[in-house]
Amino acid sequence: MLLRLVGAALDEPLGAPGIVSFNGINSVGNAGNTAGVIFKNDGFYSVYRHGVPIDNAYWLDPPVNMGDYEVYATVLSGDTPTGTIGSWVALDTSQEWSHQNSTPSTTLTCQLQIEIRWTGNNVVQDTATYTITSNG
């Protein structure tokens, strides 16, 4: 039994990750307001509501060592938002994907998949899909 515990402890990389958890929450901006999602380097993730980013919850608990995590955004459908798409980027700086549309009677929208991985083993910790819609 003791050998199994020691073996399991040796298999765990040093500096094991915190708990990564986040939900896909839709964001809508009307009349030129921004719609989007932000994964912040303080451990929170935010979704724009009426053009204002509102903190939802921690994406990392406890919120430490955010630089040990990377985020990857994939556009599943629709208009490509601002922000880095198709590359792993470090979360030691905040990362944002958004649309801002001020053209009346038009809509920018996309389905955006977000993945976060821990760089200790490059295993994806959580994934969610966001709908981002900005109405002019």
Cα–Cα distances in Å, from 30 out to 35, 36, 59, 67? 8, 12, 26, 34
Q: Of the ranges 7-21, 84-98, 112-126, which one carries the lowest mean pLDDT score?
A: 7-21
Its sign, for the CA torsion 16, 120, 75, 51, is positive
Taking only the tens place, the pLDDT of each residue in 32-41 is 899 999 999 9
> What are the structural domain ranges in the chain?
14-135
pTM (2 d.p.): 0.86
Say if residues 109 and 79 touch (Cβ distance below 8 Å).
Answer: yes
How much is the pLDDT for 33? 94
How much is the pLDDT for 134? 95
Taking only the tens place, the pLDDT of each residue in 19-34 is 999 999 899 999 989 9
Say if residues 59 and 39 touch (Cβ distance below 8 Å).
Answer: yes
The gap from C-alpha 18 to its chain's centroid, in whole angstroms, comes to 15
* CATH class of this structure's domain 14-135: mainly beta
